[in-house]
Structure 1
Amino acid sequence: MSAALITARSRSDVATTVRHLTAALQRRGTTLFATIDHAAGARGVGLELSDEVVLVFGNPAAGTPLMQADPRAGLDLPLRILVWSGDDGTQVAFRDPQAMAEDFELAGQAETLARLRGVLDALVAEVSG
């Protein structure tokens, strides 16, 4: 299974980066399905974890045709961006949706996958420095 991972450095802390990404999704009319705070989950069971948040988001108009072409694409949808604090500051990462073409039968979906990649690139560009 391929999984091209795209990583960039954010110019803000985790909380600010998550706020900026959330606002960017809202401006685009993209649905934010979930915000998963891994660090809060770790604290809840008495463990320590640096700040780490996953945003799960998408647009059914874009994702549904991919799942119609191959239901297994639902494993990688909706899209996700990870924001975390590390030794090199705040980082953001996502899996390149174009890699889905290698994992699933998505003939004829290259344009949709490229658009999804473009959205992810634009979101990361808004918070990276």
Structure 2
Amino acid sequence: MTAGFIKHQSHFRPGETMDNLVGAVTRRGLAVFLRLDHTAAAIQAGLDLRPTQLLVFGRAEGGTPLMQANQTIGVDLPLRALVWCDPADRTWIGYDDPLWLAARHGLTEGNPRHAAEALSLLVETCVLQAAGTDPSKPRGAL
């Protein structure tokens, strides 16, 4: 396991999980900057890759306070989430925890820490809903 990387198994196929994630982040006012299909790129290069997609998303109100405290965190922003299918045909969704990102850049106290906590909770909520594992909703209800 990679430090700071959180993953959850999804109850949906990869494409549906990613569609669910796009819906979850946009409903919360986050912008989707990029939806990258790594599998399609691999196919274009004549290579084989199980379903793998990356979503880049965020909003200035969440990331800017962190960058005001230490601009180096900008290398890790906007936020990203990966959806992939493993060799056992299980779908996963994962992301770098904003709290871990903040700690990586020395933002462990005060307002930057609070901003990272809020982002961490927001991303976890979106990911759990996308995977169909949000405990506050019946399975499959997004």
TM-score range, shorter chain: over 0.9
Q: Which runs of 5+ in 2 are unaligned?
A: 134-142
Superposition map of 1:19-58 within 5 A: 19-58=19-58
Sequence identity of aligned pairs in percent? 36
Superposition map of 1:105-124 within 5 A: 105-106=106-107, 107-108=109-110, 109-124=112-127
Shift of 1:127: 2.6
Shift of 1:119: 0.9
Superposition map of 1:1-129 within 5 A: 3-86=3-86, 87=88, 89-106=90-107, 107-108=109-110, 109-128=112-131, 129=133
Shift of 1:88: 5.1
Shift of 1:75: 1.0
8 Å CA contact 1:9, 1:91 repeated in 2: yes
Q: Over aligned residue pairs, what C-alpha RMSD do you find? A: 1.4
Distance in 2, matches of 1:17 and 1:69, equals 34
8 Å CA contact 2:73, 2:102 repeated in 1: no
> Per-residue CA shift, 1:80-103, capped at 9, x if unaligned?
110001125100001111012322
Structure 2 length-normalised TM: 0.85
Aligned residue pairs: how many?
128
Distance in 1, matches of 2:11 and 2:72, equals 35
Shift of 1:26: 1.6
Shift of 1:110: 1.1
8 Å CA contact 2:66, 2:102 repeated in 1: no
8 Å CA contact 1:3, 1:96 repeated in 2: no
Q: Which runs of 5+ in 1 are unaligned?
A: none
Structure 1 length-normalised TM: 0.93
Distance in 2, matches of 1:25 and 1:103, equals 24
Query: 2:63 is paired with a residue of what secondary structure?
Result: helix
